[in-house]
A and B are shown apart, each in its own frame.
Chain A
């Protein structure tokens, strides 16, 4: 591994990353959307069941979000924001999953089994997952519930999925070698990519779907990197189609 090349790439990636982060929130907030189709919403509610995500449970009646753009100054009118509770639950699960992945990478960085080059990848990918979580925070953190008794609730911040952390943590900190550790990270990335595909098939809200569509390719590329470092056969990490087979099922990780 050429350390100078790695540093150069990391710097460039960081610059590109900042550029992407600069435009992402504006992109996410520029549009507003129509109400969801009732039949599809009902179907997604059946899919999600009664998922509650630890600190991220959402109970929202009349959801609203400030719609930006078009009006100069900070007096933007409040208009209805389309995501229904089922969409918000799913998006908040993705938010929590990103926090979980970032935490897992943090644990991985603390181990001593990786080469400096592999550790560089860990730091880069952890940064990506933090950025994904931040994007969800920007997007969902503005969603407010209806005022009840003089108090207006907001979407609770997501937290790492504890049961997943409990399962992954010992595998990471106890990994006897780099290959074992990278295998865990690969499983997280494959699971994340599959989860976003699962979400895309269920999210009704266009803005949330766009967000998932911008993150899925990145998790997919993460999976390729770990697969190649592990020298996994190409047919194992390059199927013709992304599937949901490895997805983290929201219902299984309900808090």
Chain B
């Protein structure tokens, strides 16, 4: 490093202040932005969610916002303990949690993953007929792999002592209803090859980002590795789809130096928004 520690500290403080200023007031703003009656253009909504402008389709529906509901739907009803997954904007880490809470969080994260995998399988099976032969072949393979992911997560949940959360539409081994609702528009548009490709990109993007993001909420290295043994494959799915979207442009298939987490299904700040604004 050529920067001194003081210089680096000042720089990082400045970045943090900038970030906090950017985040201040976001919930209220987002409530307005994602209000179906607000008539805010989709591009503006995507930009507000921090979406790269080139890939606006990836954030259609405000996945970052609605993701909170997805997590909530995968948490077992609180009995004797409360899992801090629906707080008001604070990042949740495992550091301040009891052993029991960490075990509960592990199960929650795995269930979130399983619900996303189940959704991917369901949607790919539903829309594959609208894709051309090349994309259909790819999605058929992806669906098989997502099914394998779902099964492995189910096995992991069982091995950790988790029990199926049977509560009607919020059963954790079913496509998560909140995410399904969030994706209503891209699902409705998945009637031709372009729409199917857009939907697939959204599904793979949110899946990969969720696994990457949720690593911090898993208390055991083995679980983190298990999650990323899947997350890495979702990233490969993304690269394959981006190759189909922009053929002969390989640099578009791996554009970022670091895996992003902006569109991850995450706990926290947006529960209120989902509850009152959607």
Give the interface of A toward B (CB within 8 A).
Answer: 1-2, 5-6, 9-10, 12-13, 16-17, 20-26, 29-34, 40, 66, 68-69, 72-74, 76, 117-118, 120-121, 124-125, 127-128, 131-132, 135, 137-138, 141-142, 193, 196-198, 200-204, 206, 209-210, 212-218, 220-225, 228-229, 234, 237-243
> Do A6 and B249 contact each other (CB < 8 Å), given the known contacts A16-B52, A29-B12?
yes
> In angstroms, how far is the closest chain A Cβ from the Cβ of B90?
11
Instruction: Flag if B233 contacts A242 (CB, 8 Å).
Output: yes
Instruction: Flag if B233 contacts A33 (CB, 8 Å).
Output: no
As a 0/1 sequence over residues 147 to 169 of chain B, the CB contacts with chain A under 8 angstroms (1 = contact) are: 01100100000000000000000
Considering residues B212, B229, B233, B234, which has the most beta carbons from chain A within 10 angstroms of its beta carbon? Answer: B229
**Which of B211, B240, B257 lies in contact with A20, CB distance below 8 A?**
B257
**Which of A30, A128, A221 lies in contact with B253, CB distance below 8 A?**
A221
In the assembly, what is the distance between CA of A234 and CA of B237, in Å?
11
Instruction: Flag if B243 contacts A124 (CB, 8 Å).
Output: no
Tell me if A's interface is mostly helix, strand, loop or mixed.
helix
Q: Which 6 A-B pairs have the closest CB atoms?
A: A217-B235, A201-B225, A221-B254, A242-B232, A224-B239, A217-B259
Nearest chain B residue, comparing its CB with the CB of A117? B250
In the assembly, what is the distance between CA of A238 and CA of B240, in Å?
9
In the assembly, what is the distance between CA of A139 and CA of B234, in Å?
27
Contacts A21-B258, A221-B239 supplied; 11 other A-B pairs, CB < 8 Å: A6-B249, A20-B258, A135-B258, A142-B8, A200-B225, A209-B215, A210-B215, A210-B216, A214-B259, A220-B233, A220-B239
Instruction: Flag if A238 contacts B16 (CB, 8 Å).
Output: no
21 pairs, CB–CB < 8 Å, chain A vs chain B: A5-B248, A9-B255, A23-B15, A25-B15, A26-B15, A26-B16, A33-B95, A74-B6, A76-B9, A128-B254, A196-B228, A210-B216, A215-B259, A217-B235, A218-B256, A221-B238, A221-B253, A222-B254, A228-B253, A238-B237, A242-B230
With a cutoff of 8 Å between Cβ atoms, the chain A residues found around residue B232 in the complex are: 193, 197, 216-217, 220, 242
**Which of A2, A25, A213, A225 lies in contact with B215, CB distance below 8 A?**
A213
In the assembly, what is the distance between CA of A203 and CA of B215, in Å?
12
> In angstroms, how far is the closest chain B Cβ from the Cβ of A201?
4
As a 0/1 sequence over residues 1 to 37 of chain B, the CB contacts with chain A under 8 angstroms (1 = contact) are: 1000110111111011001000000000000000000
> In angstroms, how far is the closest chain A Cβ from the Cβ of B236?
5
Does residue B208 face the partner (Cβ distance < 8 Å to A)? yes
Instruction: Flag if B250 contacts A2 (CB, 8 Å).
Output: no
In the assembly, what is the distance between CA of A40 and CA of B148, in Å?
29
With a cutoff of 8 Å between Cβ atoms, the chain A residues found around residue B9 in the complex are: 66, 68, 74, 76
With a cutoff of 8 Å between Cβ atoms, the chain A residues found around residue B8 in the complex are: 25, 138, 142
Nearest chain B residue, comparing its CB with the CB of A135? B258
Q: How many residues of B contact A (CB 8 A)?
A: 64
Nearest chain A residue, comparing its CB with the CB of B142? A238
Nearest chain B residue, comparing its CB with the CB of A237? B236
Instruction: Flag if A228 contacts B243 (CB, 8 Å).
Output: yes
Q: Which of B113-127 contact A (CB under 8 A)?
A: none
> Do A20 and B251 contact each other (CB < 8 Å), given the known contacts A213-B231, A220-B235?
no
In the assembly, what is the distance between CA of A68 and CA of B8, in Å?
10
Nearest chain B residue, comparing its CB with the CB of A44? B221
Instruction: Flag if B16 contacts A216 (CB, 8 Å).
Output: no
With a cutoff of 8 Å between Cβ atoms, the chain B residues found around residue A222 in the complex are: 254
Does residue B91 face the partner (Cβ distance < 8 Å to A)? yes
> In angstroms, how far is the closest chain B Cβ from the Cβ of A62?
17
> Do A214 and B212 contact each other (CB < 8 Å), given the known contacts A12-B54, A206-B93, A223-B236?
yes
In the assembly, what is the distance between CA of A221 and CA of B234, in Å?
10
Does residue B88 face the partner (Cβ distance < 8 Å to A)? no
**Which of B94, B235, B256 lies in contact with A17, CB distance below 8 A?**
B256
